[in-house]
């Protein structure tokens, strides 16, 4: 049997191109946004302001035009397969850096004064990879 060509490059880590919106908090201290989530939630916005709801254990992400739109905004670095936000200080401040990359199904929450993309940290949709071996 010969080789089979994989022709779904750009689908991101082997996921089908038409996948549902997903946002991951990575063990490296960054946030990954798949292409579907970028299109649905960010549109042309290339900035993000981070929020944490300790009582409900939720992360909120407010899309903004760009990093200059708000003093607290982070840049959303966009590639063909999705985007990355690098709010390491935010994730470390609230002890949110996971041992393994953890995936969430994002939802809009516009009940408060601003519209936020919300990740329910108590309801992950999956994980990717494995924790670092740090035995002492």
- Residue 9 confidence (pLDDT): 54
Query: Is the overall model pTM greater than 0.95, yes or no?
Result: no
DSSP 58-126: EEEEEEESSGGG-TT-EEEEE-SSEEEE--HHHHHHTT---SSEEEE--EEE-SSSS-EEEEETTS--E
Per-residue model confidence as pLDDT tens digits over 72-127: 999 999 999 899 999 999 999 999 999 999 999 999 998 777 799 999 999 999 99
Residue 136 confidence class, pLDDT cut points 50, 70, 90: very low
């Amino acid at each position: 049997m010969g080789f089979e060509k994989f022709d779904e490059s750009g689908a991101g880590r082997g996921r089908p191109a038409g996948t549902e919106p997903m946002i991951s908090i990575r063990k490296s201290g960054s946030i990954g946004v798949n292409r579907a989530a970028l299109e649905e939630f960010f549109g042309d916005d290339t900035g993000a302001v981070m929020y944490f709801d300790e009582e409900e254990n939720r992360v909120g992400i407010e899309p903004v035009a760009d990093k200059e739109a708000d003093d607290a905004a982070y840049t959303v670095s966009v590639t063909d397969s999705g985007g990355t936000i690098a709010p390491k200080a935010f994730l470390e401040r609230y002890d949110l850096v996971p041992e393994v990359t953890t995936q969430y199904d994002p939802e809009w929450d516009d009940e408060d004064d601003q519209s936020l993309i919300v990740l329910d940290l108590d309801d992950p949709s999956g994980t990717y990879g494995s924790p670092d071996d740090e035995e002492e």
